[in-house]
């Protein structure tokens, strides 16, 4: 692409915007696919007669492949160019989606999910690279970042209701076939509209394959360790072995003379802080996004369609408030604006930390609204803070590290949520059982019962009769603790923003427009 003397691209044409929209929608489908499938795993399990203990690998295979692909995006972009990496990724994602729908057993489905996850993982950082490659600083980059950021967060919000609707009205095959037509359309628009760039095939001959293997093995081991930790225990030999392999492999990869992933970019202060804050944001968003459906499914007994309808409040709020976030991002420096966003998100997360067993749509409404209002303010200025100042030839690798940080934070957030629920739930159940005996008037509202509904403290059979209520209340109390933990994690991002001090090139985007 021809660039101005100031290092910025010329004003983006309508064709470029259309190509970027195709890329963003491809990313939306990749993120959406995770949520659509997870709501319908029992249906797939029944249809393909997969053992229950193997079923989680349908999701884990996708997530591991996605995490491996994200940091490789910069290298692949230098070799094949952004346009053709997108074309290969969306083609692979679409064909793998068809393969998933045609799978007749566990092995075939997992292989297709690996391909799907790898290609989907490439689509996410490609979009963020395109923001700083195709668009000028200022309004163009702000609008492009807003489009990508909102779609990236809307996908998890719409996923449960989409998966619930498909499962309820269509067959499980359509969980994957729904990607085909959008994939074909995105491919066609991308090839037609995205600018071409030089390709460096010579990098393939000089590639450090040992570095590539080490990164893949390290990230896979880390993801598997985080998946198994809540069930097996963080100190179990298996989990500790996986985490040790992850540390050794990733450490070895960083010591290579020509590493596949340029970890040395983290010497850049802005990017390092941006990745750290992105990690915290990922933990909060993925973790909170995980525990809310758990509460609605296991405590409130809602089906996937009802869960999706309730969670939709967050997505709709984001759509309404996104234009306001864009205007603010153009007029204020990134650091204080991001601090405002994280402060609001912290409040929204903390508001959910006081749920009861009877909390439903009305009680969950305003916390979702608050979170939806501030989510874009966390993303837009943070992306500008981390990536907006970098030379254009470094943006691809930096975008991979930035998005990898968020996804790894998300994996730890989900593992943390599971750990809190599994470990604290039984503790709360014991506490409530004792409270029924010692202070029934205090126990009754926590259980969602009246005092007259409680059995005599010495009646063992009576306690068994309300065991479901005790279980629901204990899970609710554990989930409340998880909400407050994620609020604290989000507040930590504000501390990091304060510690990092003034940020270069983080003035309002509106004043960064190059002279015309």
Question: pLDDT tens digits for 368-394?
Answer: 999 999 988 998 899 888 987 888 878
For the segment 74-86, the average pLDDT, to the nearest whole number, is 91
Per-residue model confidence as pLDDT tens digits over 92-144: 999 999 999 999 888 999 999 999 999 999 998 899 889 888 988 878 888 88
* pLDDT tier, 43 (very low <50, low <70, confident <90, very high otherwise): confident
Instruction: For 79-107, give one letter per residue: b (16+ CB within 10 A) or e.
Output: bbbbbbbbbebbbbbbbbbbbbbebeebe
**183 vs 460, more confident:** 183
Angle between helix axes 106-134 and 14-38 (nearest 10 degrees) is 150
Tell me what pLDDT residue 272 has.
Answer: 93
Q: Is the pLDDT of residue 504 over 80?
A: no
Tell me what pLDDT residue 475 has.
Answer: 94
Query: Across 182-191, 414-423, 505-514, which has the greatest mean pLDDT?
Result: 182-191
Task: Read off the pTM.
Answer: 0.84
Tell me what pLDDT residue 95 has.
Answer: 97
Per-residue model confidence as pLDDT tens digits over 279-307: 999 999 888 988 988 898 889 988 777 88
* pLDDT tier, 60 (very low <50, low <70, confident <90, very high otherwise): confident
For the segment 460-484, the average pLDDT, to the nearest whole number, is 90
**Residue in the block written with tokens 């809540």:** 230
Q: Is the pLDDT of residue 505 over 80?
A: no
- Find out whether 88 and 126 touch, Cβ atoms under 8 Å: no
Tell me what pLDDT residue 8 has.
Answer: 59
Q: Is the pLDDT of residue 259 over 90?
A: no
* pLDDT tier, 1 (very low <50, low <70, confident <90, very high otherwise): very low
**315 vs 213, more confident:** 213
Give the Cα-Cα-Cα angle 94, 96, 99 (nearest 5 degrees): 120
Q: Is the pLDDT of residue 225 over 50?
A: yes
* pLDDT tier, 5 (very low <50, low <70, confident <90, very high otherwise): very low
Kind plus residue range of the DSSP H or E element containing 259: none
Per-residue model confidence as pLDDT tens digits over 194-209: 998 878 877 777 777 8
CA 449 to chain centre: 37
d(CA 177, CA 169): 14
What are the percentages of helix, strand and coil residues in the chain, rounded to 5? 80, 0, 20
d(CA 356, CA 64): 35
Tell me what pLDDT residue 9 has.
Answer: 64
Tell me what pLDDT residue 388 has.
Answer: 79
For the segment 447-470, the average pLDDT, to the nearest whole number, is 82
- Find out whether 193 and 16 touch, Cβ atoms under 8 Å: yes
- Find out whether 120 and 66 touch, Cβ atoms under 8 Å: yes
Least confident window among 50-54, 67-71, 114-118, 357-361: 50-54
**Residue in the block written with tokens 């071409």:** 196
For the segment 175-187, the average pLDDT, to the nearest whole number, is 93
Tell me what pLDDT residue 53 has.
Answer: 65
**259 vs 362, more confident:** 362
Q: Is the pLDDT of residue 2 over 70?
A: no
* pLDDT tier, 274 (very low <50, low <70, confident <90, very high otherwise): very high
Tell me what pLDDT residue 508 has.
Answer: 44
* Torsion angle of the four alpha carbons 163, 167, 169, 172, in this order, in degrees rounded to the nearest 10: 110
What string of DSSP letters covers 390-408?
A: S-GGGHHHHHHHHHHHHHH
Class of the domain covering 262-510: mainly alpha
What string of DSSP letters covers 40-60?
A: THHHHHHHHT--GGGTTHHHH
Which residues have a Cβ under 8 Å from the Cβ of 245 and sit 6 or more positions away?
Answer: 217, 218, 221
For the segment 310-334, the average pLDDT, to the nearest whole number, is 85
Q: Is the pLDDT of residue 192 over 90?
A: yes
* pLDDT tier, 309 (very low <50, low <70, confident <90, very high otherwise): confident
d(CA 183, CA 306): 28
3-state secondary structure of 449: coil
Query: Across 167-176, 419-428, 448-457, which has the greatest mean pLDDT?
Result: 419-428
Kind plus residue range of the DSSP H or E element containing 230: helix 209-232
The dihedrals phi and psi of 11, each to the nearest 5 degrees, come to -55, 135
Tell me what pLDDT residue 257 has.
Answer: 66
For the segment 72-80, the average pLDDT, to the nearest whole number, is 88
Q: Is the pLDDT of residue 220 over 80?
A: yes
CA-to-CA separations, 273 to 137, 311, 501, in angstroms, rounded: 21, 31, 10
d(CA 110, CA 107): 5
For the segment 401-428, the average pLDDT, to the nearest whole number, is 89
Which residues have a Cβ under 8 Å from the Cβ of 473 and sit 6 or more positions away?
Answer: 357, 428, 432, 446, 447, 448
Class of the domain covering 12-205: mainly alpha
* pLDDT tier, 168 (very low <50, low <70, confident <90, very high otherwise): confident
Tell me what pLDDT residue 63 has.
Answer: 84
The dihedrals phi and psi of 32, each to the nearest 5 degrees, come to -60, -35
């Amino acid at each position: 692409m021809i660039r101005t003397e100031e290092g910025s691209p010329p004003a983006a044409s309508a064709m470029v915007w259309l190509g970027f929209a195709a890329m963003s929608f491809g990313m939306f489908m990749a993120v959406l696919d995770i949520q659509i499938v997870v709501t319908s795993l029992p249906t797939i399990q029944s249809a393909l007669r997969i053992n229950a203990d193997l079923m989680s690998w349908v999701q884990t295979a996708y997530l591991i492949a996605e995490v491996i692909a994200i940091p490789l995006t910069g290298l692949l972009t230098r070799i094949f160019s952004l346009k053709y990496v997108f074309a290969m990724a969306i083609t692979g994602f679409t064909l793998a989606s068809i393969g998933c729908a045609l799978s007749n057993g566990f092995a075939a489905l997992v292989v297709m999910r690996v391909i799907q996850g790898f290609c989907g993982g490439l689509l996410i950082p490609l979009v963020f690279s395109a923001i700083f490659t195709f668009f000028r600083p200022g309004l163009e980059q702000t609008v492009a970042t807003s489009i990508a950021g909102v779609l990236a967060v809307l996908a998890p919000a719409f996923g449960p209701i989409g998966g619930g609707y498909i499962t309820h009205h269509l067959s499980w095959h359509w969980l994957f076939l729904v990607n085909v037509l959008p994939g074909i359309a995105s491919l066609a628009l991308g090839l037609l509209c995205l600018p071409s760039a030089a390709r460096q095939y010579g990098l393939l001959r000089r590639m450090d394959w040992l570095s590539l293997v080490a990164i893949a093995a390290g990230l896979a081991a880390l993801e598997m360790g985080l998946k198994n930790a809540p069930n097996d225990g963080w100190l179990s030999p298996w989990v500790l072995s996986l985490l040790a392999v992850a540390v050794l492999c990733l450490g070895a990869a960083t010591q290579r003379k020509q590493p596949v992933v340029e970890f040395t970019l983290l010497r850049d202060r802005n990017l390092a802080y941006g990745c750290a804050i992105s990690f915290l944001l990922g933990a909060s968003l993925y973790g909170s996004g995980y525990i809310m459906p758990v509460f609605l499914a296991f405590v409130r007994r809602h089906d996937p369609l009802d869960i999706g309808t309730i969670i939709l409040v967050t997505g709709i709020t984001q759509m309404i408030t996104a234009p306001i976030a864009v205007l603010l991002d153009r007029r204020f420096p990134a650091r204080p604006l991001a601090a405002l966003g994280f402060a609001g998100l912290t409040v929204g997360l903390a508001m959910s930390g006081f749920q009861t067993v009877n909390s439903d749509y009305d009680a969950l409404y305003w916390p979702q609204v608050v979170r939806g209002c501030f989510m874009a303010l966390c993303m837009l200025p943070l992306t500008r803070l981390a990536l907006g100042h970098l030379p254009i030839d470094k943006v691809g690798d930096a975008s991979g590290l930035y998005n990898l940080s968020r996804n790894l934070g998300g994996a730890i957030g989900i593992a943390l949520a599971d750990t809190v629920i599994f470990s604290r739930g039984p503790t709360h159940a014991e506490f409530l059982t004792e409270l029924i005996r010692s202070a029934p008037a205090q126990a009754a509202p926590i259980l969602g019962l009246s005092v007259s509904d409680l059995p005599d403290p010495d009646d063992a059979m009576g306690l068994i009769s309300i065991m479901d209520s005790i279980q629901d209340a204990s899970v609710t109390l554990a989930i409340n603790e998880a909400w407050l933990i994620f609020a604290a994690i989000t507040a930590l991002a504000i501390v990091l923003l304060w510690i990092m001090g003034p940020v270069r090139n983080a003035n309002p985007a509106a004043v960064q427009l190059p002279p015309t």
